Amino acid sequence: MSLKVYNTLSRQKEEFKSIIPNHVGLYVCGPTVYSEPHVGNLRTFCSFDMIYRYLTFLGYKVRYVRNITDAGHLTNERGEGVNRMESQAMLESLEPMEIVQKYTVSFHRIMDAFNTIPPTIEPTATGHIVEQIEMIETLFKNGFAYEVDGSVYFDVKKYNDQHNYGVLSGRNIDELMAGYRDLDGQEEKRNSIDFALWKKASPEHIMQWNSPWGKGFPGWHLECSAMSTKYLGETFDIHGGGMDLKFPHHECEIAQNTGSCKHGGAKYWLHTNMLNFNGQKMSKSLGNSILPMEFVNGNHPLLDKGYAPSVLKFLFLQSHYSSELDINIKGLQDAEKGLKRLMEAVDIASSLQLTVNSSGKTELDIKIENIAAACKECMDDDFNTAKTIGNLFELSSIVNSLKGGQIKPEEISAVGLDLLKSTLHSYLFDVFGLKNENAIISNNKLDNAMQVLIGLRKDAKAKKDFVTSDKIRNELSATGIQLKDEKDGEMSWTLS
């Protein structure tokens, strides 16, 4: 069976055929770097990490582009409001580019702690102002852009007369226009549904650039069209992002691409579904976000303790990337147990000393071959990680039976045993990017040990023995564990 993906654009599962044989161009909308990503954002980036890993596992050479949004993203999705980086800069008394740097670095640290593979190209919006201006100029030439007082807008109605605005999201422009009519801040647009390609900057706006229309900054949707075209071409294989970006962001991207070069960009659109916490979408604005590192160290009132990064990833993988996932303590505890069982199976399998059957293929070998084939079939079926995990549990049961003697060594051949081990290994480590974190998983031993060290450091500080307290902090830091002094005299720790 070959790979099938659910294409949001066609609203059906399609056979995946790359444009260039053996090569895949993959574009994923990256983070807006004005604050720490929360666990919901993490789910989306981990889902695409799994997709990238599986495509690589299948033998494709993947060019994986994931951008950093460091300009143009305003607080209001319709292109109004204030710049997110600038408003955060005011709150933290920093320069906007200091905000960009601070949160880009922490985003990378988190992606690393969760063992995701970096994209092969990570372009920034501020590094591609020229390309964005060029795309606007082409849109002018093609009649889809108009300028009003230093700002440039995309003429959605005119575009829709020739193409289909709504092709991805299924939205109808008359209904959209009716819904937007009474909203503020759109007086200068021809139609309420038009979106900004370039916004005139007020003098106090720090992030601004020269353009043929005066000083300003690009509209948020434009960067992804300009950068995907630059690095992957006018038509490329896969475009991904969270479901909440389908409209307006991705719809506007398609309109910009089609309006400038007659191609809508990606052939396949993949959308990951939302992570909910106790039934509500996790989001910064709703105030229910949990940060990835809070999960790891357990420093959050809604958590009972810390969980290893792989536990959270395993929980994500237990449901399909396009289904909503509601997380709660029970789900985390179950994921922890499940992952532990699989990792124990890996450890046991690697230390099994068996006098195996040497006279040919056994029935058990055939069973293992079928399970290995089923793993691939499940992954080929739109990356069904949940079902793949079910098959891996079957393999772990075989390992336990071999160890416990319920299955005799002569029931398996060396080839069968190798396939069993390599299947567990390939899917758990290469495709899912999990780690064998049994040491952390079992009773959270690392946190217990850290509390002992934190206690020693508190005692040293109380006795004004700063040599010892600094030694504890510095030596932990050298091993990749950061201690942080909290305001109330408490200390917390994070993996850096």
Contact residues toward ligand AMP (CB under 6 A) are 29, 31-32, 40-41, 43-44, 241-242, 244-245, 274-275, 281-283
Q: Least distance from C-beta 180 to ligand AMP, angstroms?
A: 22
Asked whether the bond before 123 is cis by omega within 30 degrees of 0, the reply is: no
CA distance 330 to 229: 44
Is residue 308 involved in binding Zn ion (CB under 5 A)?
no
User: Pattern of binders to Zn ion over 172-211, x per CB under 5 A?
Assistant: ----------------------------------------
Cβ distance to ligand AMP smaller for residue 219 or 241 = 241
Q: Least distance from C-beta 31 to ligand AMP, angstroms?
A: 4
Beta-strand pair 275-277/280-281: antiparallel
| Backbone angles phi and psi of 235, in degrees to 5 | -125, 130
CA distance 420 to 436: 17
Is residue 232 involved in binding Zn ion (CB under 5 A)?
no
Q: Least distance from C-beta 166 to ligand AMP, angstroms?
A: 19
Cβ distance to ligand AMP smaller for residue 245 or 356 = 245
**Residue among 246, 329, 365, 285 at smallest CA distance from 7:** 246
Q: Which of Zn ion, ligand AMP, none is residue 224 near (CB under 5 to 8 Å by kind)?
A: Zn ion
| Backbone angles phi and psi of 441, in degrees to 5 | -60, -45
Q: Which of Zn ion, ligand AMP, none is residue 318 near (CB under 5 to 8 Å by kind)?
A: none
Is residue 293 involved in binding Zn ion (CB under 5 A)?
no
Is residue 325 involved in binding Zn ion (CB under 5 A)?
no
Q: Least distance from C-beta 29 to Zn ion, angstroms?
A: 3
Q: Least distance from C-beta 281 to Zn ion, angstroms?
A: 19
Cβ distance to Zn ion smaller for residue 69 or 186 = 69
Q: Least distance from C-beta 30 to ligand AMP, angstroms?
A: 7
Among the residue ranges 54-62, 217-225, 322-330, 431-439, the one whose residues contact Zn ion (CB under 5 A)? 217-225
Q: Least distance from C-beta 111 to ligand AMP, angstroms?
A: 12
**Residue among 62, 67, 53, 57 at smallest CA distance from 25:** 62
Spatial contact of 418 and 369, defined as CB atoms under 8 Å apart: no
Cβ distance to ligand AMP smaller for residue 245 or 335 = 245
Q: Which of Zn ion, ligand AMP, none is residue 368 near (CB under 5 to 8 Å by kind)?
A: none
Cβ distance to ligand AMP smaller for residue 152 or 274 = 274
Query: C-alpha distances in angstroms, 441 versus 46, 185, 333?
Result: 20, 52, 10
Cβ distance to ligand AMP smaller for residue 41 or 436 = 41
Q: Which of Zn ion, ligand AMP, none is residue 234 near (CB under 5 to 8 Å by kind)?
A: none
Q: Which residue is nearest to ligand AMP (CB)?
A: 242
First-to-last alpha carbon distance for the chain, in angstroms, is: 41
Cβ distance to ligand AMP smaller for residue 28 or 339 = 28
Residue written as token pair 């990356």? 383
Query: Of 26, 28, 29, 312, which lies in the binding site for Zn ion, with binding defined by CB under 5 A?
Result: 29
Among the residue ranges 27-35, 50-58, 295-303, 396-404, the one whose residues contact Zn ion (CB under 5 A)? 27-35
| Backbone angles phi and psi of 270, in degrees to 5 | -115, 130
- Max Cα–Cα distance, the chain, nearest Å: 83
Cβ distance to ligand AMP smaller for residue 133 or 275 = 275
Is residue 224 involved in binding Zn ion (CB under 5 A)?
yes
